[in-house]
Amino acid sequence: MKVAKEYKGLVTKKFNEFFRVELNLKENFDSNKKFLCKIRKSVNFKNQLVFVGDEVIISQIDLKSKRATIESLVQRKNLLERPSVANISNIYVIFSVAEPKLNLSQVNRFLISAEQLGVEVSLVLTKCDLIAEQKRLFLIDKFQKWGYQVITLNLNNPNNFKNLMIELKKKKCSIFMGPSGVGKTTLLNMIIPGLDNTTAAVSSKIKRGKNTTRNVELFSLSSKSYIVDTPGFNMQTLEIDIRELPNLYPEIYKQVVTFGINCKFRNCQHINDQGCKLNKNFERYIFYKEMIESFKSHYYLNQGD
Ligand SMILES: Nc1nc2c(ncn2[C@@H]2O[C@H](COP(=O)(O)OP(=O)(O)O)[C@@H](O)[C@H]2O)c(=O)[nH]1
Ligand SMILES: [Mg+2]
Ligand SMILES: [Zn+2]
């Protein structure tokens, strides 16, 4: 039984030349929402150019065999690399407040890396059961001043987790990003019951192979909300155009966009005081300045040869 119409669907999994495409419609054929698809041969884009998270137009929907054909790719909003996922709406940068110890410079680099995608970035602090309440409040305040929404989690207090779930269900497509050991897998297992990814403490050797070879996949949290299940998403390579760096710090771009500060030079790097209007009285300025200076020394070195 084939359906004549074309529908827009979401690629939630990719295996070689096959794609799992989910439809999200009122007339979604009830349980027949997921289809195994191949790209139409005559179409001028290749398998490698369609990623999990992409929206595609499918046709030749066969309700019985649950097969369909991908006709075209809808223009994507963004594309993350390693893992390749299209159309992310939210990045949650995850760090533990202890074990491993919080490293501010590392948090800074992850946040900058996340900002490069140009989507909403939030910070999640795990393992708050390991610190005093006062310290937790101190950290929330610190990172709010960095310009971020901060969500704190404590495995012993399920209420915190409930709030995160409510938030995730409002977002289109979220991904967790953070160094290893901070609790990303633990969190995903709580969010997607039955997923049973291997956490570090349990696994190490036995199941590591299985964990690292798993393909990236989207899991549905509500009718319009997905989370990326990825075993090994750390940090994008920091290949930043130096001129872009001010746009990756909320403390800076808010001054420019919201308050309209107007430095003397249009491409002001906010390093020298000459004609610079940026209020540099914020904690991360030192990280910013270091990064600009390291870019510069790199640039001059290359110019020298
Ligand atoms: N005390 C405490 N331990 C946690 C919490 N979340 C995760 N862990 C532990 O941290 C370790 C690493 O977690 P895992 O999810 O594998 O981290 P990942 O490397 O980021 O995926 C495991 O032993 C977890 O049980 C938490 O909120 N509190
Ligand atoms: Mg993990
Ligand atoms: Zn300036």
Domain for residue 96, yes or no? yes
Q: What's the pLDDT tens digit per position in 87-98?
A: 999 999 999 999
Q: What's the pLDDT tens digit per position in 17-62?
A: 899 999 876 555 555 589 999 999 877 776 668 999 999 999 999 9
User: Which of 229, 256, 282 corresponds to the end of one domain?
Assistant: 229
Indicate if 136 and 252 belong to the same structural domain. Answer: no
- The beta-strand segments (E) located in the chain are 2-3, 7-15, 18-23, 34-39, 55-62, 67-73, 79-80, 85-86, 90-96, 120-126, 150-152, 173-177, 217-222, 225-229
Indicate if 256 and 298 belong to the same structural domain. Answer: yes
User: Which of 75, 110, 125 corresponds to the end of one domain?
Assistant: 75
Indicate if 96 and 160 belong to the same structural domain. Answer: yes
- Of 102, 199, 203, the residue with max ligand 1 atoms within 8 A of its CB, to mutate for a pocket test, comes to 199
Nearest of 22, 82, 16 to residue 50 by alpha carbon = 16
Give the residue, by CA position, lying nearest to ligand 1 atom 17.
183
Given this model, what pLDDT does residue 216 score? 86
Q: Which residues of the chain have pLDDT under 50?
A: 200-213, 303-305
Domain for residue 236, yes or no? no
In this prediction the pTM is 0.89
Q: Are 183 and 94 in contact (CB under 8 A)?
A: yes
Backbone dihedral angles phi then psi of residue 235, each to the nearest 5 degrees = -135, 145
Question: How far away, in angstroms, is 258 Cα from ligand 3 center?
Answer: 15
Given this model, what pLDDT does residue 176 score? 93
Given this model, what pLDDT does residue 294 score? 85
Given this model, what pLDDT does residue 212 score? 43
145 CA to centre of own chain: 21
Given this model, what pLDDT does residue 259 score? 87
Indicate if 27 and 148 belong to the same structural domain. Answer: no
Question: How far away, in angstroms, is 82 Cα from ligand 1 center?
Answer: 23
Give the residue, by CA position, lying nearest to ligand 1 atom 3.
127
Indicate if 169 and 218 belong to the same structural domain. Answer: yes
Given this model, what pLDDT does residue 201 score? 45
Question: How far away, in angstroms, is 231 Cα from ligand 1 center?
Answer: 14
Q: Which residues have CB under 6 Å of ligand 1? A: 126-127, 129-130, 153-155, 180-186, 199-201
Q: Which atom of ligand 1 is nearest to the CA of 180?
A: 19
Given this model, what pLDDT does residue 296 score? 74
Indicate if 225 and 290 belong to the same structural domain. Answer: no
Domain for residue 225, yes or no? yes
Backbone dihedral angles phi then psi of residue 275, each to the nearest 5 degrees = 75, 5
The count of structural domains within the chain is: 3
Indicate if 223 and 271 belong to the same structural domain. Answer: no
Range of the domain at 52: 2-75
Question: How far away, in angstroms, is 200 Cα from ligand 2 center?
Answer: 6
